[in-house]
Structure 1
């Protein structure tokens, strides 16, 4: 029988924690032994139950996930840490790595990759999902991918008033190029449901109801 990996979850949304717990506990070698709703609680809980891995969100009240990971790293805690976030911005990714995180996954990561990441980190490795790896490679090479460049330009000019993420900008670009959700799914190597979620979120943020309005607003705010 495989050695049990003991896990603490930290996210300020109880429903998210419940979903992650349900997913992880389908695996016989993974056990969730505690939950926290902010970074401070996570640090205290890690000290109490000594888990193998802490899976933690970034944006939480009291103390965010990056600061919590940094504090655990500075205290020489033996716990391995995986950031699980909806944010794919370069700033968050690089700050997380600088804080000492052993992995960074997006919340739209599928189950198989999630489990693989946990096993990799437990064994002493580092794990970053494909999108995150691209950001890291571009940063190391001194460059940035096209979507990051576009986002930074929009922020500097004040035009990204909708606060779209890198992935939402990419989905927007592909939607307006005429691709279907299925085609975008294949191109970005994400599930169709994930693409539908990104599409729903960007239309909600931009307050549009159809493709025509989406195109007009994108042109108006120089998003394409």
Structure 2
């Protein structure tokens, strides 16, 4: 039984090229294509898709937005992000939302087919050259989370306000505590998250989504 594939990319030539490439494989069948996120979600209502090749940069609704909606709807379609972005932040966001595969568009045809067969079988396929970047980022994130877990509720409150640019006196007024107490909290925060100054603390808070910027 062939693997039903949908191709979602805003470039017609990319879609047509992938269709020609994949349909040379007798076990793969392209059952639909879409040029933007809205078309993609509409397509999923009409056809049965086993594996979707999804671009990130698209008009109307980007690939990560589409993926988020799919997962919120409990759509279990396997999704391989196929993109030009090799930045680890894009990869990390895609992993957080729930991808099954992540590949760059300069990948070879054999590697793409390998990814399709892998995710169809229930595996996660990250292009090998991207794995070290992801593993390093996840390790750093785990270390950050341990540091956050060591902070008290009050220290997190102080860190958030500090990251918003407030001085100790302003933080004290906002939290209705003494400026001396704020100073002690700031000192403890610096030690627990291993930073040397307020700027580094603010970067830590933003990086870990403790405040919205």
Distance 1:138 1:23 in 2: 33
The answer for the alignment partner of 2:100 in structure 1 is 102
Q: Distance in 1 between matches of 2:75 and 2:29?
A: 20
Query: How far apart, CA to CA, are the structure 2 residues paired with 1:134 and 1:43?
Result: 32
Q: TM-score when scaled to structure 2?
A: 0.64
Contact conserved, 1:67 with 1:99, CA < 8 A, in 2?
Answer: no
What residue in structure 1 maps to residue 43 of structure 2? Answer: 45
**1:20-66 CA distances to partner (integer Å, 9 max, x unpaired)?**
11110110000001110011111110121021011110000000001
- Tell which structure's C-alpha radius of gyration is larger: 2
Paired position in structure 2 for 1:182: none
Match for residue 22 of structure 1 among 20, 29, 43: 20
Q: Supply the distance in 2 between the matched residues of 1:108 and 1:140 (Cα, whole angstroms).
A: 25
Cα displacement string for residues 146-166 of structure 1 (whole angstroms, at most 9, x for unaligned residues)? xxxxxxxxxxxxxxxxxxxxx
TM-score normalised by the chain length of structure 1: 0.61
Aligned length: 141
Deviation at 1:85, TM superposition (A): 0.1
Aligned twin of 1:111: 109
1:76 aligns to what? 74
The secondary structure found in structure 2 opposite 1:34 is strand
Structure 1, unaligned runs of 5 or more: 144-224
Match of 1:136 among 131, 134, 137: 134
Cα distance, 1:78 vs structure 2: 2.3
